[in-house]
């Protein structure tokens, strides 16, 4: 009897060792990420859900002609060559650009990346009679490269891009145009059923989204809509230094902050975006690691500059900027999760410049400016700001606005809040301060991404960008800004262009064009087993260098 027991134990031990040994030797490393998105961002090449979409299903599976350098946590993230190795604008005609393509790159399906693929991908969003034209991808793409008109193949590895007007921002804008595999799409199109070419095209894109093919460092391995996307590393990635070190990445939508936090704390995932702020002490106490860094994001008040607006007086604009204790906001309400904003870009950024107006907390100076403008304790200036109760990038809009309300009250402002639903606020943003939707507000509180010059500066400062064209909500009309925008757009040497943009930014700070309040810091929490992660000053993340230690 005793022998039988020993034998049984020995067999069990052998089985356990046999099962465990290969697992230990070749254990698959899996990065499980809880995203803030409620759904998997679109996987067909041009993701939805803003830059979170680009972060997870754009830059992972796809590449663009140009890309962001995400290797440093200290330096500003700048544009570097991607699928194009070099580019230049035509000396005689500044609307023509030539891009030299990277040789030897293949899509995940094995088909080659070449000039035909670039033209095909431009046509998918710009050429309405192209079979692959997809209206659902137009909005998120064309708006981010507003001057691009068309693409033409010069030879297999050279392509010419045409813009509507001279535009030195094009290489930066092109970080948003991801290259999907035409060969793969064509396979689906060939098999697609539909009443007409448009229906077949839609069916082909729907099939492509389930079995996507790009050139990126990660390949799609399985996709359950609204639940999970599994990506595996692309061993054949063209940049050997960026072949992922982790075998697999699983992306899980978890829109609720407490659910994400619980998933991390219970070990279901090993990485979460935006943990619940009040759980940060527990997350740290349990040994998880918190990361954050300044993001190209601005939490502002955008002033109305239409006739009769109190913000037309520069003393009032400057006073508002000097009356806010941003450090107090950071250390109190936001528990350290913000960077005080002293402009759209902070010192160290190539587009910062040297503004003479220093944005800081200086209440006496603010009060003095307001008194010079004719206001005081007995004659307060009433201003109204439209904001939302929540929303992507809005951080904590209501408490933050109430903080400003209290702070500005000490500088003789009487701030009224007009709180509306986030999507409505977004829609109103396009309509401008003159539209009835502004509801008498003379400022709006819509946060914005400041990744590229058009979105960070031009669309707000150039007079021609007033509604209905773009987001100059307050109808700013400053000839100096227009001149500097033109100069920056028509300066094609990258260093000189950056200098021109810095000049434009400095001018906007000197003019106190916005009430600059905060930059978000993109907090994320992860298991201490995750190593090698670098949180760049960007909306984006490079997952390739991440490792998981046993």
Partner 1 sequence: MFAYIARRIVYVIPIVICVALVCFLLVHITPGDPLVAVLPADASQELAAQLRSAYGFDRPLPVQFGLWLWRALHGDLGSSIATGRPVLTEVMRAVGNTVMLAVAAAMIGFTFGLLFGLIAGYFRDTWVDKVATSVAIAGVSLPHYWLGMVLVIIFSVQLNWLPAVGAGPGGSGAWAWDWEHLRYLVLPAITTSVIPMGIITRTVRALTGDILSQDFVEALRAKGLRETAVFRHVVKNAAPTALAVMGLQLGYMLGGSILIETVFSWPGSGLLLNSAIFQRDLPLLQGTILVLALFFVLLNLLVDIAQAAIDPRIKRS
Which residue do the tokens 């301060």 mark?
A: 433
Cis status of the peptide bond prior to 468, with omega within 30 of 0? yes
Q: Which is nearer to partner 1, 259 or 314 (CB)?
A: 259
Residues forming contacts to partner 1 in the complex (CB under 8 A) are 34, 38-39, 42, 44, 48, 50, 135-140, 142-144, 146, 202, 205-206, 209, 224-228, 252-256, 258-259, 262-263, 265-268, 420-421, 423-424, 426-427, 429-430, 446, 448, 455, 459, 467-471
Q: Which is nearer to partner 1, 138 or 417 (CB)?
A: 138
Smallest distance from partner 1 to CB 23, Å = 16
Q: Which is nearer to partner 1, 246 or 252 (CB)?
A: 252
- Give the H/E segment covering residue 525: strand 524-526
Q: Which is nearer to partner 1, 8 or 38 (CB)?
A: 38
Q: Are 129 and 136 in contact (CB under 8 A)?
A: no
Cα distances from 370 to residues 310, 317, 327, 363, 380, in angstroms, run 11, 9, 22, 10, 9
Smallest distance from partner 1 to CB 416, Å = 20
- How open is the CA angle 122-124-129, to the nearest 5 degrees? 110
Which residue do the tokens 């950024």 mark?
A: 349
| Cα torsion 176, 498, 72, 282: sign | negative
Smallest distance from partner 1 to CB 363, Å = 34
Q: Which is nearer to partner 1, 36 or 405 (CB)?
A: 36
Q: Which is nearer to partner 1, 135 or 348 (CB)?
A: 135
Q: Are 225 and 39 in contact (CB under 8 A)?
A: yes
Burial of 155 (0-12, 13-18, 19+ CB in 10 A): exposed
Terminal Cα-to-Cα distance of the chain (whole angstroms): 40
Smallest distance from partner 1 to CB 161, Å = 19
Residues β-bridged to residue 303: 443
- SS3 (DSSP) at 305: coil
Smallest distance from partner 1 to CB 267, Å = 7
Smallest distance from partner 1 to CB 3, Å = 34
Q: Are 210 and 185 in contact (CB under 8 A)?
A: no
Smallest distance from partner 1 to CB 260, Å = 8
Q: Which is nearer to partner 1, 384 or 459 (CB)?
A: 459
Distance, CA of 380 to CA of 408 (rounded, Å):
10
In the chain, % helix, strand, coil (3-state, to 5) comes to: 35, 20, 45
Q: Which is nearer to partner 1, 137 or 367 (CB)?
A: 137
Q: Are 290 and 283 in contact (CB under 8 A)?
A: yes
Smallest distance from partner 1 to CB 431, Å = 9
Q: Which is nearer to partner 1, 50 or 532 (CB)?
A: 50
- How open is the CA angle 388-446-459, to the nearest 5 degrees? 155
Q: Which is nearer to partner 1, 98 or 437 (CB)?
A: 437
Distance, CA of 149 to CA of 113 (rounded, Å):
21
CA 516, chain centre distance (Å): 19
Q: Which is nearer to partner 1, 134 or 511 (CB)?
A: 134
Smallest distance from partner 1 to CB 517, Å = 19
Smallest distance from partner 1 to CB 224, Å = 4
Among 211, 279, 171, smallest CA distance to 44 is for 211
Smallest distance from partner 1 to CB 42, Å = 6
Q: Are 175 and 66 in contact (CB under 8 A)?
A: yes
């Amino acid at each position: 009897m005793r022998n039988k027991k020993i034998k049984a134990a020995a067999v069990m031990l052998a089985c356990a060792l046999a099962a465990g040994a290969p697992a230990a030797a070749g254990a698959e490393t899996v990065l499980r990420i809880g995203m803030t998105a409620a759904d998997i961002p679109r996987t067909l090449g041009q993701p939805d859900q803003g830059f979170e979409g680009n972060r997870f299903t754009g830059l992972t599976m796809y590449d663009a002609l140009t890309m962001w350098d995400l290797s440093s946590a200290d330096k500003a993230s700048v544009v570097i060559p991607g699928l194009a190795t070099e580019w230049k604008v035509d000396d005689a005609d500044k609307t023509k650009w030539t891009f030299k393509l990277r040789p030897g790159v293949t899509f995940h399906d094995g088909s080659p990346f070449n000039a035909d693929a670039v033209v095909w991908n431009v046509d998918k969003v710009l050429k309405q009679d192209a079979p692959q034209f997809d209206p659902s991808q137009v909005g998120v793409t064309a708006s981010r490269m507003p001057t691009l008109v068309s693409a033409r193949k010069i030879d297999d590895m050279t392509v010419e891009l045409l813009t509507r007007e001279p535009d030195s921002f094009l290489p930066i804008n092109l970080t948003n145009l991801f290259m999907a595999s035409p060969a793969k799409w064509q396979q689906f199109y060939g098999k697609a059923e539909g009443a007409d070419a448009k229906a077949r095209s839609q069916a082909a894109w729907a099939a492509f989204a389930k079995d996507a093919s790009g050139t990126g460092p990660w390949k799609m391995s399985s996709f359950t809509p609204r639940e999970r996307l599994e990506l595996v590393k692309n061993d054949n990635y063209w940049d050997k230094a960026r072949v992922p070190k982790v075998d697999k990445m699983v992306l899980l939508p978890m829109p609720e902050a407490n659910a994400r936090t619980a998933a991390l704390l219970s070990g279901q995932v090993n990485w979460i975006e935006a943990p619940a702020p009040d759980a940060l002490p527990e997350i740290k106490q349990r040994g998880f690691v918190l990361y954050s860094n300044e993001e190209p994001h601005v939490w502002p008040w955008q002033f109305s500059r239409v006739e009769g607006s109190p913000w037309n007086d520069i003393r009032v604009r400057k006073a508002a900027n000097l009356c806010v204790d941003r450090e107090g906001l950071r250390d109190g309400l936001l528990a350290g999760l913000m960077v005080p904003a002293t402009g759209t870009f902070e010192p160290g950024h190539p587009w910062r410049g040297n503004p003479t107006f220093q944005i800081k907390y200086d209440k006496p100076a603010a009060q003095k400016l307001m008194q010079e403008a004719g206001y005081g304790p007995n004659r307060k200036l009433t201003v109204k700001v439209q904001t939302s109760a929540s929303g992507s990038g809005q951080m904590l809009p209501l408490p933050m606005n109430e903080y400003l309300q209290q702070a500005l009250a000490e500088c003789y402002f009487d701030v009224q809040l007009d709180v509306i639903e986030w999507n409505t606020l977004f829609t109103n943003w396009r309509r401008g301060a003159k539209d009835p939707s502004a509801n008498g507000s003379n400022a709006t509180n819509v946060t914005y991404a400041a990744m590229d010059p058009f979105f960070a500066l031009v669309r707000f400062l150039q007079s021609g960008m007033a509604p209905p064209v773009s987001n100059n909500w307050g109808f700013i009309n400053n000839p100096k800004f227009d001149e500097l925008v033109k100069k920056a757009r028509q300066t094609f040497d990258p260093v000189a262009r950056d200098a021109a943009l810095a000049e434009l930014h400095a001018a906007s700070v000197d003019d106190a064009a916005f009430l600059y309040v905060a930059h978000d810091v993109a907090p994320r929490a992860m298991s201490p087993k995750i190593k090698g992660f670098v949180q760049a000053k960007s909306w984006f993340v490079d997952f390739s260098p991440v490792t998981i230690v046993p």
